[in-house]
């Protein structure tokens, strides 16, 4: 993991050096004062996200923390697309030597892409998924709001959470299931903005259940657990909730907990004749899940890379990087995330809320509650 982080950091710094060199070439005729001023501004923005991450547990004013995180994360995606655009225009100059303003063309193209990506991020899609199970449960159908990766903190703030709560409630779910990463890098901004007030507005008559994600561990799992006790959300960590309709929700702790129970251990504690829904933040070993007798698994984590071409990488890494798929026995849905981590852009991917309507076996006479 440390080596991966160092590779990413090296690529990021290398990309910024490339952009900076091209910027200075473009400003070759400008005054020294302007070049120095823009140099200071450039490197302040380039290093801001790193500074924000290093200071995530430091008590600083909310406005400053949010500004640092947002500007730094925006710059990260700006760097990605600016480098790609510069490569294109610098290569084009080989064939068109008279093209003088490649840097400005790249800057314009990158700006347009970021505007589109921000608009796309602010307008989540609602995915409608219908599933008929092979097992019976009490009732005709259950409407589930499946959510993942909201990342509350300096990026997804109280106002954004308020929009998401209204969106979720507008779908009139019977049950809300959250597949981890509700909280981002630190619990501090979540507490500072009193986000428990918005979470208390979530409404689902059959309950709200959640499993931890890797970011709950980054934010210190014990502090996150204490915060969630102020909300109507029930946190499942290698534990099981059985609903009155007979559906069993198996909540797996995140892979960050090296001592988490195996799926086999957890399934030994459920009734295999009744529906089993597994919540597991990271969608690994899906073939094993399919072979284990699980009816539905809900995951998140991947964001599908958030922006292209990172989406190509997640599609390569994961057996199922996003969306709904019926495996041989198991219905698996991997959310791209209702919100996102860091930069507020969706380019080549979508933010989404899934509404999953599940029905019992069609030949079911419907279980009675006393069963």
Interacting residues of 196 by C-beta distance below 8 A, sequence separation 6+: 227, 230, 231
The answer to the question of residue 371 being in a domain is no
CB 193 within 8 A of CB 61: no
Do residues 289 and 233 share a domain? yes
The answer to the question of residue 365 being in a domain is no
Do residues 31 and 63 share a domain? yes
Question: Which is nearest to 133 in space by CA: 323, 329, 289?
Answer: 329
Do residues 201 and 279 share a domain? yes
The answer to the question of residue 347 being in a domain is yes
User: Per the structure block, which two tokens stand in for 173?
Assistant: 């779910």
CATH number at residue 265: 3.60.21.10
pLDDT of residue 57: 76
Q: Cα-Cα-Cα-Cα dihedral of 359, 362, 364, 368, to 10°?
A: 30
Distance, in Å, from the CA atom of 356 to the CA atom of 126, rounded to the nearest integer, reads 10
Do residues 186 and 313 share a domain? yes
Do residues 301 and 206 share a domain? yes
The answer to the question of residue 249 being in a domain is yes
pLDDT of residue 98: 81
Do residues 72 and 137 share a domain? no
Distance, in Å, from the CA atom of 337 to the CA atom of 149, rounded to the nearest integer, reads 5
* 366 Ramachandran zone, left/alpha/beta (phi>0; psi -120 to 50): left
Give the total number of structural domains in the chain: 2
- DSSP letter at 183 equals B
Do residues 86 and 133 share a domain? no
Domain that holds residue 62: 2-121
pLDDT of residue 100: 84
Distance, in Å, from the CA atom of 28 to the CA atom of 332, rounded to the nearest integer, reads 55
Do residues 89 and 174 share a domain? no
pLDDT of residue 63: 86
Do residues 110 and 191 share a domain? no
**Helical residues (DSSP H) of 213-309, grouped into ranges:** 214-218, 221-228, 263-267, 286-291
pLDDT of residue 369: 44
Q: Scanning the structure block, which residue is given the tokens 């960050």?
A: 256
Distance, in Å, from the CA atom of 142 to the CA atom of 152, rounded to the nearest integer, reads 27
- Considering 121, 143, 174, which residue would you say is the last residue of a domain? 121
Q: Give Rg (Cα) of the chain.
A: 23
The answer to the question of residue 369 being in a domain is no
pLDDT in tens, the chain (371 residues): 577 778 888 999 999 999 999 999 999 989 999 999 999 999 999 999 889 888 877 778 888 888 998 999 999 999 999 999 999 999 998 888 888 899 999 999 999 999 999 999 999 999 999 999 999 999 889 999 999 999 999 999 999 999 999 999 999 999 999 999 999 999 999 999 999 999 999 999 999 999 999 999 999 999 999 999 999 999 999 999 999 999 999 999 999 999 999 999 999 999 999 999 999 999 999 999 999 999 999 999 999 999 999 999 999 999 999 999 999 999 999 999 999 998 999 999 999 999 999 999 865 554 444 44
The answer to the question of residue 310 being in a domain is yes
Single pTM value for the model: 0.90
């Amino acid at each position: 993991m440390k080596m991966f982080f160092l590779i990413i950091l090296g690529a990021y710094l290398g990309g910024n050096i490339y952009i900076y060199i091209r910027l200075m070439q473009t400003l070759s005729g400008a005054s020294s004062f302007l070049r120095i001023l823009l140099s200071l501004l450039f490197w302040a923005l380039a290093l801001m996200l790193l500074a924000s991450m290093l200071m995530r547990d430091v008590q600083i004013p909310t406005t400053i923390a949010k500004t640092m995180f947002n500007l730094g994360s925006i710059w990260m995606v700006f760097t990605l697309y600016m480098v790609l655009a510069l490569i294109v225009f610098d290569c084009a100059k080989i064939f068109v030597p008279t093209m003088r303003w490649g840097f400005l063309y790249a800057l314009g193209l990158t700006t347009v892409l970021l505007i589109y990506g921000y608009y796309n991020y602010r307008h989540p899609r609602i995915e409608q998924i219908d599933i008929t199970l092979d097992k019976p449960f009490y009732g005709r159908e259950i409407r589930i709001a499946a959510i993942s990766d909201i990342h509350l903190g300096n990026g997804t703030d109280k106002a954004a959470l308020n929009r998401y709560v209204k969106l979720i409630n507008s779908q009139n779910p019977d049950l809300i299931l959250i597949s981890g990463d509700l909280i981002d890098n630190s619990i501090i901004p979540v507490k500072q903005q009193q986000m428990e007030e918005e979470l208390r507005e979530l409404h689902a008559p059959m309950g709200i259940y959640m499993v931890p994600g890797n970011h709950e561990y980054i934010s210190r799992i014990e502090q996150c657990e204490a915060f969630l006790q102020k909300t109507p959300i029930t946190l499942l960590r290698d534990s099981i909730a059985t609903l009155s309709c007979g559906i069993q929700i198996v909540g797996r702790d995140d892979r960050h907990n090296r001592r988490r129970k195996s799926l086999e251990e957890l399934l030994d504690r459920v009734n295999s004749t009744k529906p089993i829904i597994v919540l597991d933040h990271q969608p690994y070993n899906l073939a094993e899940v399919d072979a284990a007798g699980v009816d539905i698994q809900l995951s998140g984590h991947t964001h599908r890379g958030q922006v292209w071409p990172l989406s190509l990488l997640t599609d390569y890494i994961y057996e199922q990087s996003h969306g709904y798929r019926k495996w041989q026995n198991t219905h698996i849905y991997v959310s791209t995330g209702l919100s996102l981590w860091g930069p507020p852009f969706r380019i080549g991917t979508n933010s989404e809320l899934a509404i999953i309507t599940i029905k019992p076996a069609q030949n079911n006479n419907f279980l009675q509650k006393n069963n």
